Structure 1
Amino acid sequence: MSITSFRAVSVGALGGLAAFLALGPAASYGAQLFAALIGWAGYMQFGGKLEGLKKSIPHHLCGVLLAAVALVAATRLPYGETIGVAAWTAIAVAVTLVLLVLASKLPALAEWPVSLAAYATLLATTHADDLLALAPNNPALLAALSLIVGAVFGYAAEQLAEALQKLPLPGQKAPSAARS
Protein backbone atom coordinates (compact mmCIF):
# COMPACT_ATOMS: atom_id res chain seq x y z
CA MET A 1 0.00 0.00 0.00
CA SER A 2 1.15 3.54 -0.63
CA ILE A 3 1.75 6.23 1.97
CA THR A 4 -1.28 8.01 0.52
CA SER A 5 -3.46 5.03 1.45
CA PHE A 6 -2.04 4.92 4.97
CA ARG A 7 -2.44 8.68 5.26
CA ALA A 8 -6.09 8.39 4.16
CA VAL A 9 -6.73 5.79 6.86
CA SER A 10 -4.96 7.81 9.57
CA VAL A 11 -6.64 11.11 8.59
CA GLY A 12 -10.03 9.41 8.49
CA ALA A 13 -9.53 7.70 11.84
CA LEU A 14 -8.17 10.74 13.65
CA GLY A 15 -10.62 13.09 11.93
CA GLY A 16 -13.44 10.85 13.11
CA LEU A 17 -11.97 10.83 16.61
CA ALA A 18 -11.72 14.64 16.53
CA ALA A 19 -15.37 14.87 15.46
CA PHE A 20 -16.46 12.48 18.21
CA LEU A 21 -14.51 14.39 20.86
CA ALA A 22 -15.61 17.85 19.68
CA LEU A 23 -19.27 16.88 19.40
CA GLY A 24 -19.30 14.50 22.36
CA PRO A 25 -17.14 14.49 25.49
CA ALA A 26 -15.28 17.76 24.77
CA ALA A 27 -18.35 19.69 23.54
CA SER A 28 -19.17 20.94 27.01
CA TYR A 29 -15.67 22.43 27.17
CA GLY A 30 -16.20 24.39 23.95
CA ALA A 31 -14.20 22.22 21.55
CA GLN A 32 -14.70 23.37 17.96
CA LEU A 33 -14.42 20.80 15.17
CA PHE A 34 -14.38 23.54 12.50
CA ALA A 35 -11.43 25.25 14.20
CA ALA A 36 -9.60 21.95 14.72
CA LEU A 37 -9.85 21.13 11.02
CA ILE A 38 -8.60 24.61 10.08
CA GLY A 39 -5.70 24.10 12.50
CA TRP A 40 -4.97 20.76 10.86
CA ALA A 41 -4.97 22.39 7.42
CA GLY A 42 -2.58 25.10 8.65
CA TYR A 43 -0.26 22.42 9.99
CA MET A 44 -0.27 20.66 6.61
CA GLN A 45 0.35 23.97 4.79
CA PHE A 46 3.74 24.01 6.48
CA GLY A 47 4.57 20.52 5.24
CA GLY A 48 3.65 18.61 8.37
CA LYS A 49 6.18 16.97 10.65
CA LEU A 50 7.32 18.66 13.85
CA GLU A 51 8.44 21.70 11.84
CA GLY A 52 4.89 22.20 10.53
CA LEU A 53 3.56 22.05 14.06
CA LYS A 54 6.09 24.63 15.29
CA LYS A 55 5.34 26.97 12.39
CA SER A 56 1.55 26.70 12.38
CA ILE A 57 0.92 27.52 16.04
CA PRO A 58 2.24 31.13 15.96
CA HIS A 59 0.17 31.77 12.81
CA HIS A 60 -2.97 30.42 14.47
CA LEU A 61 -2.41 32.51 17.58
CA CYS A 62 -1.73 35.66 15.54
CA GLY A 63 -4.93 35.22 13.55
CA VAL A 64 -7.06 34.61 16.64
CA LEU A 65 -5.51 37.55 18.49
CA LEU A 66 -6.11 40.01 15.65
CA ALA A 67 -9.68 38.76 15.09
CA ALA A 68 -10.34 39.19 18.81
CA VAL A 69 -9.01 42.76 18.63
CA ALA A 70 -11.32 43.47 15.68
CA LEU A 71 -14.35 42.00 17.46
CA VAL A 72 -13.64 43.84 20.69
CA ALA A 73 -13.10 47.12 18.85
CA ALA A 74 -16.28 46.62 16.82
CA THR A 75 -18.45 45.75 19.82
CA ARG A 76 -16.93 47.65 22.75
CA LEU A 77 -15.81 50.99 21.36
CA PRO A 78 -18.55 53.60 20.96
CA TYR A 79 -17.76 54.63 17.38
CA GLY A 80 -20.40 52.25 16.00
CA GLU A 81 -23.06 54.51 17.47
CA THR A 82 -21.65 57.48 15.57
CA ILE A 83 -20.85 56.06 12.14
CA GLY A 84 -22.94 52.91 12.24
CA VAL A 85 -22.12 49.40 13.37
CA ALA A 86 -21.43 48.06 9.86
CA ALA A 87 -19.00 50.87 9.02
CA TRP A 88 -17.21 50.65 12.35
CA THR A 89 -16.92 46.87 12.12
CA ALA A 90 -15.55 47.20 8.58
CA ILE A 91 -12.91 49.65 9.81
CA ALA A 92 -11.91 47.36 12.71
CA VAL A 93 -11.62 44.37 10.38
CA ALA A 94 -9.72 46.36 7.74
CA VAL A 95 -7.17 47.68 10.23
CA THR A 96 -6.56 44.29 11.84
CA LEU A 97 -6.22 42.59 8.44
CA VAL A 98 -3.63 45.20 7.44
CA LEU A 99 -1.77 44.33 10.65
CA LEU A 100 -2.10 40.61 9.89
CA VAL A 101 -0.47 40.99 6.48
CA LEU A 102 2.19 43.37 7.80
CA ALA A 103 3.01 40.80 10.50
CA SER A 104 4.10 38.49 7.70
CA LYS A 105 7.31 40.51 7.53
CA LEU A 106 8.27 38.64 10.71
CA PRO A 107 9.82 35.29 9.79
CA ALA A 108 7.67 33.45 12.35
CA LEU A 109 4.48 34.77 10.67
CA ALA A 110 5.55 34.78 7.03
CA GLU A 111 2.61 32.72 5.71
CA TRP A 112 -0.20 35.17 6.34
CA PRO A 113 -2.93 33.01 4.66
CA VAL A 114 -2.61 30.53 7.56
CA SER A 115 -3.11 33.41 10.01
CA LEU A 116 -6.05 34.60 7.91
CA ALA A 117 -7.71 31.18 8.21
CA ALA A 118 -7.32 31.34 12.00
CA TYR A 119 -8.70 34.90 11.96
CA ALA A 120 -11.75 33.73 10.02
CA THR A 121 -12.17 30.80 12.39
CA LEU A 122 -12.66 33.07 15.38
CA LEU A 123 -15.07 35.28 13.47
CA ALA A 124 -17.08 32.23 12.40
CA THR A 125 -17.25 30.58 15.81
CA THR A 126 -17.51 33.33 18.38
CA HIS A 127 -19.85 35.43 20.43
CA ALA A 128 -18.18 38.81 20.77
CA ASP A 129 -19.77 39.43 24.15
CA ASP A 130 -17.61 36.78 25.80
CA LEU A 131 -14.24 37.89 24.38
CA LEU A 132 -13.19 40.02 27.32
CA ALA A 133 -14.04 37.40 29.93
CA LEU A 134 -11.06 35.83 31.61
CA ALA A 135 -12.83 32.51 31.73
CA PRO A 136 -12.42 29.01 30.33
CA ASN A 137 -15.28 29.66 27.89
CA ASN A 138 -13.59 32.67 26.28
CA PRO A 139 -14.15 32.19 22.53
CA ALA A 140 -10.66 33.38 21.60
CA LEU A 141 -9.11 30.89 24.00
CA LEU A 142 -11.36 28.08 22.74
CA ALA A 143 -10.64 28.90 19.09
CA ALA A 144 -6.88 29.05 19.74
CA LEU A 145 -6.92 25.77 21.64
CA SER A 146 -9.05 24.08 18.97
CA LEU A 147 -6.69 25.29 16.22
CA ILE A 148 -3.69 23.98 18.13
CA VAL A 149 -5.41 20.66 18.88
CA GLY A 150 -6.19 20.37 15.16
CA ALA A 151 -2.52 20.87 14.31
CA VAL A 152 -1.59 18.22 16.89
CA PHE A 153 -4.14 15.83 15.36
CA GLY A 154 -2.53 16.48 11.98
CA TYR A 155 0.85 15.59 13.43
CA ALA A 156 -0.59 12.45 15.04
CA ALA A 157 -2.23 11.40 11.76
CA GLU A 158 1.08 11.79 9.97
CA GLN A 159 2.90 9.75 12.60
CA LEU A 160 0.20 7.06 12.42
CA ALA A 161 0.45 6.90 8.63
CA GLU A 162 4.21 6.46 8.81
CA ALA A 163 3.87 3.77 11.49
CA LEU A 164 1.25 1.91 9.45
CA GLN A 165 3.50 2.00 6.40
CA LYS A 166 6.23 0.22 8.35
CA LEU A 167 3.97 -2.66 9.38
CA PRO A 168 4.21 -5.74 7.21
CA LEU A 169 1.00 -6.59 5.39
CA PRO A 170 -0.31 -10.17 5.48
CA GLY A 171 1.76 -12.28 3.10
CA GLN A 172 4.53 -9.69 2.96
CA LYS A 173 8.01 -10.23 4.43
CA ALA A 174 8.95 -6.62 5.20
CA PRO A 175 7.73 -3.26 3.98
CA SER A 176 9.68 -1.66 1.18
CA ALA A 177 11.61 1.45 2.15
CA ALA A 178 10.90 3.06 -1.24
CA ARG A 179 7.08 2.85 -1.14
CA SER A 180 5.14 6.01 -1.93
Structure 2
Amino acid sequence: MSVLFALTFSIGGLAVLATWLFLGPLAALQVQVWQAFVAWACFYHSGGKTAGATKTVVCMAFGALVGMLSVMLAGQLGAVGALAAPVAVGLGAAAIVMAAHVGLLGTIPASVYGFACVAGLILPKGLAPADALLPTLVSIAIGTAFGWLSEFIGGKLTAAPAAA
Protein backbone atom coordinates (compact mmCIF):
# COMPACT_ATOMS: atom_id res chain seq x y z
CA MET A 1 0.00 0.00 0.00
CA SER A 2 1.30 3.49 -0.76
CA VAL A 3 2.36 5.77 2.10
CA LEU A 4 -0.46 8.19 1.24
CA PHE A 5 -3.16 5.52 1.53
CA ALA A 6 -1.57 3.96 4.60
CA LEU A 7 -1.53 7.31 6.41
CA THR A 8 -5.04 8.05 5.15
CA PHE A 9 -6.32 4.94 6.89
CA SER A 10 -4.23 5.21 10.04
CA ILE A 11 -4.79 8.93 10.61
CA GLY A 12 -8.45 8.82 9.60
CA GLY A 13 -9.24 5.86 11.82
CA LEU A 14 -7.30 7.20 14.77
CA ALA A 15 -8.95 10.62 14.35
CA VAL A 16 -12.29 8.92 14.93
CA LEU A 17 -10.95 7.26 18.06
CA ALA A 18 -9.28 10.43 19.37
CA THR A 19 -12.39 12.54 18.87
CA TRP A 20 -14.55 9.93 20.59
CA LEU A 21 -12.13 9.74 23.54
CA PHE A 22 -11.92 13.50 24.00
CA LEU A 23 -15.65 14.11 23.66
CA GLY A 24 -16.57 11.04 25.72
CA PRO A 25 -14.49 9.32 28.38
CA LEU A 26 -11.87 12.09 28.71
CA ALA A 27 -14.27 15.07 28.63
CA ALA A 28 -14.36 15.42 32.42
CA LEU A 29 -10.59 16.08 32.42
CA GLN A 30 -11.10 19.25 30.34
CA VAL A 31 -8.64 17.97 27.75
CA GLN A 32 -9.19 19.42 24.30
CA VAL A 33 -9.30 17.46 21.06
CA TRP A 34 -8.19 20.51 19.07
CA GLN A 35 -5.04 20.80 21.19
CA ALA A 36 -4.33 17.12 20.59
CA PHE A 37 -4.72 17.62 16.84
CA VAL A 38 -2.27 20.55 16.97
CA ALA A 39 0.23 18.28 18.77
CA TRP A 40 -0.45 15.48 16.29
CA ALA A 41 0.31 17.82 13.38
CA CYS A 42 3.35 19.17 15.23
CA PHE A 43 4.66 15.62 15.57
CA TYR A 44 4.71 15.27 11.77
CA HIS A 45 5.93 18.86 11.29
CA SER A 46 8.83 18.08 13.64
CA GLY A 47 9.91 15.07 11.59
CA GLY A 48 7.99 12.24 13.25
CA LYS A 49 9.60 9.26 14.92
CA THR A 50 11.08 9.53 18.41
CA ALA A 51 12.86 12.82 17.67
CA GLY A 52 9.64 14.44 16.44
CA ALA A 53 7.74 13.19 19.48
CA THR A 54 10.40 14.57 21.81
CA LYS A 55 10.46 17.96 20.07
CA THR A 56 6.68 18.12 20.14
CA VAL A 57 6.23 17.29 23.81
CA VAL A 58 9.15 19.33 25.13
CA CYS A 59 8.68 22.44 22.99
CA MET A 60 4.90 22.53 23.10
CA ALA A 61 4.96 22.07 26.89
CA PHE A 62 7.54 24.85 27.19
CA GLY A 63 5.45 27.10 24.95
CA ALA A 64 2.34 26.35 27.01
CA LEU A 65 4.20 27.28 30.19
CA VAL A 66 5.45 30.53 28.63
CA GLY A 67 1.93 31.24 27.37
CA MET A 68 0.44 30.70 30.81
CA LEU A 69 3.05 33.00 32.37
CA SER A 70 2.44 35.61 29.68
CA VAL A 71 -1.29 35.68 30.43
CA MET A 72 -0.51 35.99 34.13
CA LEU A 73 1.95 38.82 33.39
CA ALA A 74 -0.68 40.63 31.31
CA GLY A 75 -2.92 40.61 34.38
CA GLN A 76 -0.14 42.19 36.42
CA LEU A 77 0.56 44.88 33.81
CA GLY A 78 -2.87 46.43 34.16
CA ALA A 79 -1.28 49.85 34.72
CA VAL A 80 -0.22 50.01 31.08
CA GLY A 81 -3.82 49.54 29.93
CA ALA A 82 -4.36 48.33 26.39
CA LEU A 83 -0.68 47.50 26.03
CA ALA A 84 -0.66 44.91 28.83
CA ALA A 85 -1.48 41.88 26.68
CA PRO A 86 0.66 42.91 23.68
CA VAL A 87 3.68 43.56 25.91
CA ALA A 88 3.21 40.26 27.77
CA VAL A 89 2.85 38.32 24.51
CA GLY A 90 5.90 40.06 23.05
CA LEU A 91 7.97 39.15 26.10
CA GLY A 92 6.73 35.56 25.89
CA ALA A 93 7.59 35.36 22.18
CA ALA A 94 11.05 36.78 22.88
CA ALA A 95 11.58 34.21 25.64
CA ILE A 96 10.65 31.39 23.26
CA VAL A 97 13.14 32.59 20.66
CA MET A 98 15.91 33.07 23.20
CA ALA A 99 15.26 29.64 24.71
CA ALA A 100 15.70 28.08 21.26
CA HIS A 101 19.43 28.28 21.88
CA VAL A 102 18.94 25.41 24.34
CA GLY A 103 19.04 22.23 22.25
CA LEU A 104 15.76 20.66 23.38
CA LEU A 105 13.88 23.97 22.96
CA GLY A 106 15.19 24.60 19.46
CA THR A 107 11.94 23.96 17.56
CA ILE A 108 10.42 27.44 17.80
CA PRO A 109 7.20 26.64 15.87
CA ALA A 110 6.37 23.84 18.31
CA SER A 111 6.83 26.22 21.25
CA VAL A 112 4.55 28.73 19.55
CA TYR A 113 1.92 26.04 19.04
CA GLY A 114 2.03 25.29 22.77
CA PHE A 115 1.73 28.99 23.62
CA ALA A 116 -1.30 29.29 21.34
CA CYS A 117 -2.89 26.13 22.73
CA VAL A 118 -2.83 27.30 26.34
CA ALA A 119 -3.96 30.81 25.37
CA GLY A 120 -6.76 29.28 23.32
CA LEU A 121 -7.97 27.45 26.40
CA ILE A 122 -7.62 30.43 28.75
CA LEU A 123 -9.18 33.19 26.67
CA PRO A 124 -12.42 31.70 25.29
CA LYS A 125 -13.06 29.30 28.17
CA GLY A 126 -12.22 31.82 30.88
CA LEU A 127 -10.05 29.35 32.77
CA ALA A 128 -7.49 30.67 35.20
CA PRO A 129 -4.05 30.37 33.57
CA ALA A 130 -2.85 27.76 36.07
CA ASP A 131 -6.04 25.72 35.54
CA ALA A 132 -5.48 25.66 31.78
CA LEU A 133 -1.94 24.33 31.91
CA LEU A 134 -2.54 20.71 33.01
CA PRO A 135 -5.33 19.94 30.50
CA THR A 136 -3.16 21.49 27.78
CA LEU A 137 -0.15 19.37 28.72
CA VAL A 138 -2.26 16.21 28.81
CA SER A 139 -3.82 17.05 25.44
CA ILE A 140 -0.34 17.61 23.98
CA ALA A 141 0.89 14.27 25.30
CA ILE A 142 -2.14 12.39 23.97
CA GLY A 143 -1.96 14.13 20.60
CA THR A 144 1.73 13.30 20.29
CA ALA A 145 0.98 9.67 21.13
CA PHE A 146 -1.67 9.59 18.41
CA GLY A 147 0.86 11.06 15.98
CA TRP A 148 3.39 8.38 16.85
CA LEU A 149 0.76 5.64 16.64
CA SER A 150 -0.54 6.86 13.27
CA GLU A 151 3.00 6.87 11.89
CA PHE A 152 3.66 3.39 13.30
CA ILE A 153 0.45 1.94 11.84
CA GLY A 154 1.09 3.71 8.54
CA GLY A 155 4.54 2.15 8.44
CA LYS A 156 3.11 -1.31 9.10
CA LEU A 157 0.59 -0.86 6.30
CA THR A 158 3.31 0.09 3.82
CA ALA A 159 5.74 -2.67 4.81
CA ALA A 160 6.35 -5.32 2.23
CA PRO A 161 4.96 -8.73 3.15
CA ALA A 162 7.57 -11.12 4.55
CA ALA A 163 8.83 -13.78 2.17
CA ALA A 164 7.43 -17.23 2.88
TM-score surpassing 0.5? Answer: yes
Corresponding residue pairs, total: 161
User: 8 Å contact 1:60–1:148 — kept in the other structure?
Assistant: no
Q: Does 1:118 align with 2:114?
A: yes
Cα deviation, residue 47, structure 1: 1.2
Which of 83, 98, 113 is residue 80 of structure 2 equivalent to? 83
Aligned residue in 1 for 2:90: 94
Q: Does 1:154 align with 2:147?
A: yes
Root-mean-square deviation (Å): 1.8
Aligned residue in 2 for 1:131: 129
Aligned residue in 2 for 1:21: 21
User: 8 Å contact 2:121–2:127 — kept in the other structure?
Assistant: no
**Aligned mates of 1:91, 1:122 — CA distance in 2:** 18
The TM-score, its normalising length taken from structure 1, stands at 0.83
Q: Does 1:163 align with 2:156?
A: yes
- SS of the aligned residue for 1:105 comes to coil
Bigger radius of gyration: 1
Cα distance change of structure 1 residues 128 and 91 upon mapping to structure 2, 3 Å threshold: farther
Over residues 106-132 of structure 1, what are the superposed CA-to-partner deviations in whole Å (9 max), with x where a residue is unaligned? 111112011101111111122565224
The TM-score, its normalising length taken from structure 2, stands at 0.90
Gaps of 5+ in 1: 133-137, 168-173
Cα distance change of structure 1 residues 129 and 49 upon mapping to structure 2, 3 Å threshold: closer
Aligned residue in 1 for 2:70: 70
Greater helix percent: which structure?
A: 2
Identity %: 26
Moved over 3 A (4+): none
